[in-house]
Each structure stands twice: as C-alpha cells, then as structure tokens.
Amino acid sequence: MMILRNCLLSIAFVTGTGAFADDPFKKSIQPFLKTYCVSCHGEETQKGKIRLDHLSSSMADRKEAELWARSLEAIEFGEMPSDKADKFPTKAEARLVQDWIAQSLTQAGLKVEDKADKEGYGNLIPHDLLFSPTESKRVVDAAARLWRISPKALANTVRGARMVSNPFALDKPHGNFRDFKGKYSFNSLMAEQVTELALVHSEKEAKNARKTIVMMKEKGSTIDEANREAIKRHCHNVLRRTPTGEEMDVMMGLLKKVDSELGVPFGLQAVYASIILRPETLFRFEGTEDADDDGLVALTRRELANSLSFALTDLPPDSNMLRAFENNESSPREILLAETRRLLDDEKRPTARNRLLQFFQEYFDYLKAEDVFKDQIKGHKHWAPALVYDLNALVMHVLKNDKQVLKTLLTTPEYLIYVNSHRDHGNPLAYNLPPDWKPTPKPFKFPEDQRMGVLTHPAWLVAHSGNFDNDPILRGHWIKYKLLGGNVPDIPITVDAKLPEDENMTLRERMHVTRAEECYKCHSKMNPLGLPFERYDHFGRFRFLELDKPVDVTSKIVNSGVPEVDGEIRTPFELIERLANSTHCEQVFVRYVFRFFMGRNETLGDAKSLQEAHKAYVDNDGSMESLVLSLLSSDSFLYRAKPVSLAKVSP
C-alpha cells in the first residue's frame, strides 16, 4: 500500500482519458514484463503485494495507472529488477518501456513529473545516449536563465561594508554542488539583507563623493552636473558601464526626491545603493539577443565575458577580458579559449585554479568532514580541518601535474600529509602513522594494500561517516552517483532510517536490517559499494579488526549498470581500480564537471559538448585544464535555446 501511495506523489492527475494503440504494448511491453518482472510480481508470487502480469495497456483504471507510474519510477531509478533477479534488461529495452509508460500516462491525461532538470537528478538523463555518436548531432536545448551572483562576488561588490552573514551564502554541497540553477530562490530576507548592505556601503561612498562634488562646484560646475558625474563614476565601478541618458534622469529623480525629504547626502546614498541593488548587478544575465536561423540564441560578447569571468572567478570581467571580447577579429570561441587559458595560468592570482579545487571539494564532497561531530577517544585526536587541508593539498598537487587527473586521484598511494603544521592536532594518527612522525613536504607513499586515492583518504572517509560509525550507505551512494552515474529513489517517508544500537555487533552485522525486502531493493544499490571501506574505522584509520573480529571487506556488485565494475570484490582497492579503469566512470566525471561549470544538469542537447569534452580529456592524457577549456568554449557555453513563449509581464 505504501508504494502505491508514494506513487501518488509523483503524478498529478489532470483530466480526461485517452486511447492509444495496443501494438507496442503487445509487441514490446508485455514481453518485457514477462521476461523481467512477472517471476516476482505474477500470479504465483507477489513481492511487495505487487502484481504486474494482468496489467492492461489502458490507463483509465486509476489503480492500474498508479501501478504503471510506480513501475516507471522503479525502472528509471534502477530500483527494479532487484539485484537478486536472474536477468536484467538492456538500457535500450528499459528506455523503450519507460518512454511507453510516460507517453501512455500523458495521453491518458495524467501528468508525469519530470525531475531531470532538478538538482541532484542529473543522472536521470540516459548516459549511453549522451555519449552516443548519433546524439551528438542535436543542438543545445537549454534555455537562457538568470543566475544569482556568488556570495564572494556579492562581497566584492559591496567591499568595505561590514558583512556578518552573507545573504547569498551557499549551503554545503551535501552530494550536489553549492551553486546551482534554481537552488536558491531570492526571498524577502535576502532583499532586506542586501538592501542593508547596499545602504551601509553607499553611506561611506556617498560621503567620499561629497568631497569631489564640493570641489567640482568650486570649479564652477552646477550641483546637478557634479551629482551626475558622481553617479556616472559609481556606475563605472559597479556596473562597469556608462548609464544611459534615461537611466541617469531616473536616478537624478530619486536623488532629488530623497534629498528634499531627508536632506543631503541621503539622495546620493539612495542612488548609490540602488545601483548595487539593480538586477544587473546581482544576477548574471544571458541570452538577450534574438535567435538565429537554427533557433539558437548566441550569447553576446559582453554576456560571454560575464559568464566566463563568473565561471572561473568571483569577480566581474576585468578590463583585459572586456578588451579581449571587444576584438572583432577573433571569434568568440577563440577568445573564450585564450581568456580561459590566461585565467587558469595566472600564478599571481590563482582564483581560477582555486575554482578547479572547489570543483573537487564539491565533487568528492569532503568539506563536510568538518561538520561530522565526533567524540574524542583515548589514543586518538580527531581534527577534521587538518584532514581537509591535506586532501586539498593532494588535489592541488595532482592538478599541477594535470595528467590522468581522475585516475590519479582515485588510485594514488602518495598522500600529502602534514604539509604545513598540524602537529598539535595529532594528525598522523589518522593515517596510522606514529604520533612523532616527522612531516615532510614531499608526498608520502603508503603500501598499496593500505591506502589508495581519495576514497581511502581520512578526509573523505570522515565526510562519509556518522558521529559514531562508518556510513557504508553514504559511501555507496557517493560511488553510485558520482562514478557510476546511477540513481537511488528518495527514502519513503515511513522508513525509520536508523540502524539498531548494539555494542556487540559489527556495523555490517547491524546493517542486516537493510536487507529486509522493502529496504534492500534500494540498499542493494548502495551497500555493496560502500562495505569494502569497512577496512577503515570512522576516524579514517586503517584496521584489520572490528570488535576483535577480522573485518569483512568483501562484497559483490550486481547490475551496477557498468558491467566492468560488477562481480566479487575482495578489497576496497579492487573496487577502486575497477572504477578508475572504467571509461563509463570517466564520462560520468565529465558530466559532473559540466554541471559544476554550467550550474545546471545536462540535457540530450548537450551530448555534443560532453562528447567533445571527454575527447579533449582523453586526447590530452587526462588533463583537467583541457577538459575545462573544452567545456567553457563549447556550444553549451556559447548558445541557448530560443525561448518557447513570452512570459506574462506585469505592468
């Protein structure tokens, strides 16, 4: 019953019913059900009280429609067939059934919720299609959008204003990226905080401007001329452009109104604040030009300069970049490549290189190690910031070599530990090193059966652990999403997602509760991937024993969606090597880089950009810089789809 009720949440009933041809149902759908579903959900067995063998192709019956919707979700999220099944459908077979169900539900007047463009659901776009040569002929189909500037960019805009809490603050990623399309809607609190910041900043600026205004007046300018000049300067500083005549008149109107009501220099302060609060300052605009013959909207050169600058830094485009984009002799793509290179190679101001580090922090999601509260225990001192520091150093080290970046990060036995000094915090203990271990600026090489890359680094292990235990589910979830490109359904509301507390049982033993039938259909997608990491305790220390018993780190991966990863697993290192050697996993990584830099999920219209980016990565020996260069000069970066219809404009 629970499953049926849950499915009600994912479809919204509209009106009417429709008829559709029976042919595809008989030809493909019924055979699919018979082959993959009916053995568990048929006349003889009805697991989860679900029976699918007598389903008809009509969606007129509400209960049947609910069951179809539930089946669609189960196939889409890879929940079914369960890993205990004998046979698994190919992706093409599964997709055919998914499309048929979705289409039939729609034809019957039932609305199927599409989550593919929502944060955290990017993997719903079929991977094999995104990397199929036939799909690379598609054109970009993502529409233009507004994108709020980052918290740091806001801080840069109101530099000097006291900012206790940044209204644009971004959440810690928790599995996804911090800055993402539609993640943060603008609300009245933000409006109030930004307004106050703008007022504080402009108070100081307006007072400074008064001195210039007085000087200009002394030299014979009228008060209006002097005020206009002061406004013009502020526009140059904040908007990096000259205001139009009409804009200037409106701002002068505000200045005079406020001055007459509250006195000088409140008028100038109000105008200065209003410039900071313009949508143009706080949002990244794009796609304001008309569509071309192919129905694509090319970003203007100014928009490209903005987009590129905000993709790689937290500053609006600098003068060099603005000048570069004004050069009509070079194509926008050439300028994008040259400017991306310039920013990435800038050693004096490594802001763009830091953006690459930020990507890995959010992709591997290890910053949250600092949020996992742990009690101090005897013989160990846990200090998460030191672990995070070390992993940052490792990532930067790998980025510097820029060769086989993903593979190296997943498999390197060489760690940078204690690079600066965390001596007081007993950091070596987390790596099973003696407390008096001497720090070295060189990478430290672990034996191959002890540590291997980021997934066995204490920072990642702690970030994917609980307060008192490891969290194999979270670790498996990470691998499922970030390397295998898979999906796991959301937790149903009635699930009491907690393990029993028993000090005499190992974590693996306590996890037996997740093997209950209704749990394991989802947990089978995560637990086997996370359990090999039981080789480490929840502080990230290597171990052979748990509760005086040898730790079981074996596992069996079934139907992961990536055949080269499936099979028996004896050690975490075996699993890591399979993942690191998989082209599929490498492509999934490229998808995540895409999402980070574009701030949105990929669509099938991005197939060409993704394939080119992956090729650039492979052709250049796994170079992150080549991958980013390719993405930031791709069609997906340069073009937007034509808007479908005009939105209602309030008067």
Partner 1 sequence: MHVSRRNLLKGLTLGSGAMLLPPMAQRILANTEGKTSAPRFVFVVQSNGFDAVQACPESIPFQKYEDRDKFEAFDLAEHKLPKGLAPLEELKSKTTILQGLSGRCTGGGHSTWGGCLGMYRISGANHSPQNVTIDYQLGQAQPGILPWVGVGMASGAQDALMNISARAAHKSMPIILKPEKAYNAFFSVAAGGDREKNFHLKRNLLDYMVGDVKKTRTALGSLAGEELDAYLSAYDQLAARQYKLLANKETLKKAAPKLDDRFTSEVATQRLEAQFELATSSLIGGLSNVATITSAATEINAQPYLGIGVDLSNHAYGHMGGNKRDAKGVQHYEKVRNWLFGLIAKMAKQLEETPEGNGNMLDNTVIVYMSDAPDTHHSTGFEWPLVLVGNLKGKMKLGGQYVNFPGYGKAGHRTVGCLYNSFLRSVGTKQETFGRIDPDLDLQAMQTGPLAELMA
Q: Which residues bind partner 1 (CB under 8 A)?
A: 1-2, 5-6, 119-120, 144-148, 164-165, 167, 171, 174-176, 182-183, 185-193, 195, 198-199, 250, 254, 257-258, 261-262, 266, 269-270, 273-274, 277-280, 282-283, 285, 287-288, 371, 373, 467, 490-491, 493-494, 496, 498, 643-647, 649-651
Among 418, 416, 422, residue whose Cα is nearest residue 445: 416
Of the pair 75, 251, the CB lying nearest partner 1 is at 251
Closest among 258, 294, 278, 86 to 195, alpha carbons compared: 278
Contact criterion met (CB below 8 Å) for 352 and 346: yes
Minimum distance of partner 1 from residue 478's CB (angstroms): 13
Query: For partner 1, which is the closer residue by CB, 15 or 165?
Result: 165
Q: What is the CA radius of gyration of the chain?
A: 28
Q: Which is nearer to partner 1, 241 or 556 (CB)?
A: 241
418 CB-near residues (< 8 Å, 6+ apart)? 386, 390, 427, 428, 437, 439, 440
Q: Identify which of residues 198 and 409 has a Cβ nearer to partner 1 in the complex.
A: 198
The CB-of-147 to partner 1 minimum distance in angstroms stands at 8
Measured from the CB atom, is 277 or 505 closer to partner 1? Answer: 277
Alpha-carbon gap, residue 269 to 208, rounded angstroms: 11
DSSP character at residue 291: B
3-state SS, residue 398 = helix
- β-pairing, 567-569 vs 296-298, is unpaired
Task: For tokens 């609190």, name the residue.
Answer: 189
Between 284 and 608, name the residue whose CB sits nearer to partner 1. 284
Q: Least CB distance from residue 260 to partner 1, whole Å?
A: 11
Residue 71 beta carbon to partner 1: minimum distance, rounded to whole angstroms: 19
The distance of closest approach from Cβ of residue 285 to partner 1 in the complex, given in angstroms and rounded to an integer, is 8
CB of 648 to partner 1, least distance (A): 9
- Cis peptide, bond prior to residue 126, ω within 30 of zero: no
Is 95 or 425 the residue whose CB approaches partner 1 more closely? 425
Count the Cβ atoms, other than its own, within 10 Å of residue 585: 22
Q: Is 293 helix (H, G, I), strand (E, B) or coil?
A: coil
Kindly state the greatest CA–CA separation across the chain: 98
Q: How far is the CB of 247 from partner 1 (least distance, A)?
A: 9
**Minimum separation from the CB atom of position 338 to partner 1 (A):** 28
- What is the C-alpha to C-alpha distance for residues 447 and 212, in angstroms, rounded to an integer? 68
The residues with which 13 forms a beta bridge, in sequence order, are 110
Closest distance between partner 1 and the C-beta of residue 20, in Å?
31
Identify the burial level of 16 via C-beta atoms within 10 angstroms of its C-beta, where 0-12 means exposed, 13-18 middle and 19 or more buried.
Answer: exposed
Q: Between residues 99 and 261, which has the closer beta carbon with respect to partner 1?
A: 261
Between 5 and 233, CB nearer to partner 1 = 5
Handedness of CA 260, 262, 267, 270 (dihedral sign): negative
How many C-beta neighbours within 10 Å does residue 531 have? 25
